[in-house]
A and B are shown apart, each in its own frame.
Chain A
Amino acid sequence: MPHGDFHPVLFVIVAVWVLVCGVGVVAFRNIVHSAMAMVACFLGVAAVFVLLDAGLLAIIQILLYVGAISVVVLFAIMLTEQQHAKLGFFFNRQAIFALPLTVAAAVVITVILVTSKMPLNGSRSHNVSLVAIAGGLFNRYVFPFELVSFVLLAAMIGAIVLARKEDD
């Protein structure tokens, strides 16, 4: 496969895959099946990155979402949830609030997509080098980067405080 060719047929296949898996995440009644659908969905997103010639993003997507987040989610499910939990009907009362929010989010994303100047097709310049990303992270955007790490540190300390036993 030549690099940088944004193939429309492949994109349609991957997009349908992502959508089907996304519906699967909410539609499956077994929560572990939902989690697996989520993994498949993440893989589809990684495939989209590959199609856009953003190999690094694709690999980071797999590393973080498939390798870390999904494993932690599965871990949490297996440690806490009752197996074969009976969940309610697909649409519950929260649908009233969820529907406008979803529509609003869809509108915002569509507007951004239509008005943005991001070239999605036929561009080979998207394969940003690692050096450029590192420069951005550690020079230009070092303050937000440190801020995010501070938030993560706070979350970590919180987790440790919660997990500690009282009598220790």
Chain B
Amino acid sequence: MSWDLVLAVVRLIVAVLIAYAIVFVAALVNIVFERRVLGFLQDRLGPNRTGWQGILQSVADAFKMMGKEDFAPTAADKTMFTLAPIMVMIGAVAIQVVIPYTKGWTDQNLNVGLIYIVAITSFTVLSILLGGWASHNKYSLVGALRTAAQMVSYELPMILALLVVAMAAGSLSLNAVVAAQGSYRWFVFTMPFTFLLFFIASVAELNRGPFDLPESESELVAGYGTEYSGMRFGMFFLNEYAGMTIMSMVTVTLFLGGWQGPFANALVIHGVALVPLVWFLVKVYALVFVLVWIRLSVPRLQVDQLMGFAWKVLIPLGLVNILATAAVLLWAPHWKLAMAVYSWLALIAFVGLFDTLLRWRLKRQRRRVAVLT
């Protein structure tokens, strides 16, 4: 047994603990953040009693949850019922391996980071499906199946958008993606249409409003988490909120230039630049704010609209987007400029035509229903 091996194992354990800590802290921060922002947007106060401006509110809630009875229904499959909340965090924790937090700081510069992100998020689907089944409750099962269907469906437009990023960056490594967005040529500026497709798909992957059907209280009690209580419920809940930060980290890395910003080399300790870390966090929390904002502003979709939107709108658009970007990359002389022009035009066309097409479709549908009845 050499010291190197021991050191490697210790390093691994510490890294995993840090990743878990980031997930938990992010979740607790996001819960307070969302409640306060919702309060601000709705012209009320929100939680402001526990600690300064209520920042300790979710810490108190977490302790309350841990103190609750560890309860499982009699009919539940005990092993799987326990396994599901443990497994649900794997995605959020493991994804951090490839995220470049700041200049010169990634755990592993995987050359297939983009595929890794897609692969590792599938654990969430698996554990939600498992949790819903193990609860032995109809609401849980239907909720879990809905969630899985939604997450699997929206994974496809997300992958299609990721492919465009990979094509533009010329690599699947996240560090290379960040490097390709140097000197403020962020992909959100050069390909806003792809960003929009990715962003919509990522909100749906997070199961957040307007795509929060998995726990639509009005139809499914609480979806897959109906039978869960105490800390087991807490794990699902924390994962969902940590997901906001984690997904925003991915989005920032892919489209908003990652850690890049002014004064990148101002403060460097042991090869780790600190100022870019601040830029990274600022961008991430700007996106988290947008997520909260969207949740408040847009009403929830119906389940049939949800699937239709993924399969009939986002996936065809994603395929066309890939085709067009590939054509631009291959044949256009100044492909960066041409791609930006194409992408902005596509974005304007999408946003401009969306409402009109939706109205036209609705009118046609109503006419058909009128004929049938």
Contacts and interface: CB of A to CB of B under 8 A. Distances in A.
Interface string A134-161: 0000000000000000000000000000
B123 A66 contact: yes
B353 interface: no
Interface in B116-139: 116, 118-123, 125-126, 129-130, 133-134, 136
A107 B253 CA distance: 49
A71 B152 contact: yes
B80 interface: yes
Interface string A40-70: 0000000000000001100110110011101
B287 interface: no
A71 B129 contact: yes
Nearest to A32: B133
A32 B78 CA distance: 13
Report the contact-size class of chain A (Cβ under 8 Å from the partner).
Answer: 20 to 34
Give chain B's interface residue range (CB within 8 Å of chain A).
20 to 34
A68 B118 CA distance: 11
Interface of A is mostly: helix
B362 interface: no
B112 A130 contact: yes
A162 B129 CA distance: 25
A68 B122 contact: yes
Contact of A79 (B79, B115, B145): B145
Nearest to A67: B122
Contact of A62 (B122, B129, B136): B122
Given A75-B129, A78-B129, A78-B145, A56 B112 contact: yes
A41 to B, nearest CB: 14
A128 to B, nearest CB: 11
Interface string A96-126: 0000000000000000000000000000000
Contact of A71 (B118, B120, B126, B141): B126
B115 A59 contact: yes
Given A74-B129, A78-B145, A63 B77 contact: no
A26 interface: no
B112 A55 contact: yes
Interface of A: 1, 30, 32-33, 36, 39, 55-56, 59-60, 62-63, 66-68, 70-71, 74-75, 78-79, 83, 129-130
20 contacts: A1-B8, A62-B122, A63-B115, A63-B119, A66-B123, A66-B126, A67-B119, A67-B121, A67-B122, A67-B123, A68-B122, A68-B152, A71-B125, A71-B152, A74-B126, A74-B129, A74-B148, A75-B129, A78-B144, A130-B111
Given A59-B112, A67-B155, A71-B148, 14 more contacts: A32-B130, A60-B115, A62-B119, A62-B120, A67-B121, A67-B122, A68-B122, A68-B152, A74-B126, A74-B133, A78-B129, A78-B133, A83-B136, A129-B111
Interface of B: 8, 77, 79-80, 83, 110-112, 115-116, 118-123, 125-126, 129-130, 133-134, 136, 141, 144-145, 148-149, 152, 155, 172
